[in-house]
Amino acid sequence: MTIVVGYSPSGQGRAALRAALRYAAHSAEGLAIVSHQYNDPERGMTAATEPEVRAELERAGVECGEVTVHSSSERDIGEFLLSVVEEVAASLVVIGLRRKPPIGKLNLGASARRVVLGAPCPVLAVKDDPSLTEDEHSTSS
């Protein structure tokens, strides 16, 4: 089976990727990385390319064996993640959440809510560690 992870080069994306790598290492499952659109200050709306994703994996010290990268610039990220989950018959979905102020209940964004409610397998939602700087994110895995 395969673990699907939503990824963008952000704190949330890196946290999700680190968690998915830990689960994949323990379960010996393949990893399907879903690279979704994000707003890059220099390039505008873009998605991480396969070479960029593989470079992030190398920075994390991961061999790029059973890893596939899926990307799309035209679909809603929630729907796109769920389509990849179905396509690869995923055993787990890992998504990163943006840290929000405490309000007494779980407040998910629209895409995260769609994945949590629509996935046919367990969903692991992780949050970024705000105590790490951007440079530490790329070397802390």
In this predicted structure, the answer to whether residue 107 has a pLDDT above a threshold of 80 is no
Burial class of residue 35 (count of CB atoms within 10 Å of its CB; 0-12, 13-18, 19+): buried
**pLDDT band (50, 70, 90) for residue 64:** low
The domain limits of the chain are 2-139
- Across the chain, mean pLDDT equals 82
The per-residue pLDDT for range 48-63, each reduced to its tens digit, is: 888 888 888 888 777 6
Alpha-carbon distance of 83 to 119, in angstroms, equals 9
In this predicted structure, the answer to whether residue 29 has a pLDDT above a threshold of 80 is yes
Report, at the CATH architecture level, how domain 2-139 is classified.
Answer: 3-Layer(aba) Sandwich (3.40)
pLDDT of residue 139: 45
Q: Where are the alpha helices (DSSP H) in the chain?
A: 11-27, 50-59, 77-88, 110-118, 134-139
- pTM to 2 decimal places: 0.82
- Which residue type, as a one-letter code, is found at position 48? A
Q: Are 67 and 33 in contact (CB under 8 A)?
A: yes
Alpha-carbon distance of 15 to 18, in angstroms, equals 5
